[in-house]
Structure 1
């Protein structure tokens, strides 16, 4: 008999053993039928990278009689989604969830995020998708405090659907459950990393560089993800993969490009 439960694809960028994705798997199993395809090692800040010049390996890591089929992939988070859709799943899933990321993916971080790029790839495939992130980089971060919110947002997404090409970027403040004030629908804040490279040398005298920097928020708006998170709210930003600057098309058409 065909299951009436939604089919949910779970992935992440911290790797298949990360506590964040283990929590996400548990929550999703309360909602639907779950299949997991996640990197076999951490792939943070991989953005929308795909593997084209190396071999890709896909290994089933769950037992044959396990309730949830789990696969580890040697590639990037986007590779995981591509392989899931093309090689594993017999039908398109009803939802793809990515995370729960150990660390923020608010503001400009969405560009670099492997977590969000996996969700965006699902969106490109026509699958409703959500990226979940907690503002705590600790491997042993407390994901229990956000479980009910993850479930609520997932159920609402399944019930209401998403517009074509829209993906939800959900970030949770590092707070206890009873300290979270609620959920805010936000825009992406105008914030960025002011970067620098720490130049060092190997014992053999060869230069190498270590990226560091400071996150600077230039946005004073109270409708942004950064404001929401700093003020005790969960932020949800609807994002899209159409990067066209529609507002600039008219001005660009005024240029003398064809003369």
Structure 2
């Protein structure tokens, strides 16, 4: 009789913190696909990007009964710290898949550089762990994740069953629509878009100035193959991401210039 196939190990993390509804919905969506282990920040860490903790001690504590029978840990560190600690101190091995999210709010276009959600997934990919970051375009604590759970399950299952690329990294954004109104999935490129930022100057009760970051999202990209276009038109966007930031076109141009010889 053949040996029983071992369940895949799925690491789950996020940047909104271990108590966020998004991570609870992510666990619910995929707990039937393998052995799920949660290692997440003990507080919100949005916008932390790929930050790691090097100047202060990191705390790692087991959390009971937060996700039913699913093993869960919370850390005092960043989303990237969570992945590092999970591999080294919790799992003592690389998981078969890392899922980050479900983020409350968009992580399309330039947001991928700032996002703690995507940085956690990227850290896993750096360690040759297939990984996916999931985001729902709804910032509300009361957001409806029912449609998101369906797409999370299908995409995660496909990666587990079909992926041959160890450094696979996907950025998945889900529109704020009921499942019946989502038109399907589009594999996209990252849109050329950014925030026009402004620091709103205010005064605290002591009369001292402080600043609150605000801004307007500007999309310069008119292409119909971008994540911004897909989401605006009712599709789930899937962007394959890489962490090699080399501009190969410019590299070839520079190599032709004699002044660099």
TM-score range, shorter chain: over 0.9
**How many residues end up aligned between the 2 structures?**
257
Contact 2:129 2:168 in 1 (8 A): no
Structural mapping, 1:84-99, within 5 Å: 84-99=86-101
Tell me how far 1:7 sits from its aligned partner.
Answer: 0.4
2:187 paired residue number: 185
Q: Does 1:231 align with 2:207?
A: no
Contact 2:105 2:135 in 1 (8 A): yes
Which has the higher mean CA deviation after the structures are superposed, 121-130 or 88-97? 88-97
The superposition leaves residues 14-35 of structure 1 with CA deviations (integer Å, 9 ceiling, x where unpaired) of 0001010001111221111011
Contact 2:254 2:260 in 1 (8 A): no
Structural mapping, 1:238-257, within 5 Å: 238-257=240-259
For 2:191 and 2:202, locate their aligned partners in 1 and report how far apart those are by CA, in whole Å: 33
Q: Does 1:25 align with 2:27?
A: yes
2:145 paired residue number: 143
For 1:62 and 1:144, locate their aligned partners in 2 and report how far apart those are by CA, in whole Å: 25
1:49 paired residue number: 51
The superposition leaves residues 61-106 of structure 1 with CA deviations (integer Å, 9 ceiling, x where unpaired) of 126xx63110000010000000001111132110000000000000
- Which residues of structure 2 form unaligned runs of 5+? none
| Partner SS for 1:250 | helix
For 2:234 and 2:107, locate their aligned partners in 1 and report how far apart those are by CA, in whole Å: 16
TM-score where L is the length of structure 1: 0.95
Contact 1:165 1:241 in 2 (8 A): no
| Partner SS for 2:69 | coil
For 1:186 and 1:230, locate their aligned partners in 2 and report how far apart those are by CA, in whole Å: 13
Tell me how far 1:194 sits from its aligned partner.
Answer: 0.4
- Which residues of structure 1 form unaligned runs of 5+? none
Tell me how far 1:165 sits from its aligned partner.
Answer: 3.1
CA RMSD in angstroms, aligned pairs only:
1.5
For 1:256 and 1:22, locate their aligned partners in 2 and report how far apart those are by CA, in whole Å: 57
For 1:201 and 1:162, locate their aligned partners in 2 and report how far apart those are by CA, in whole Å: 55
TM-score where L is the length of structure 2: 0.95
Q: Does 1:156 align with 2:163?
A: no
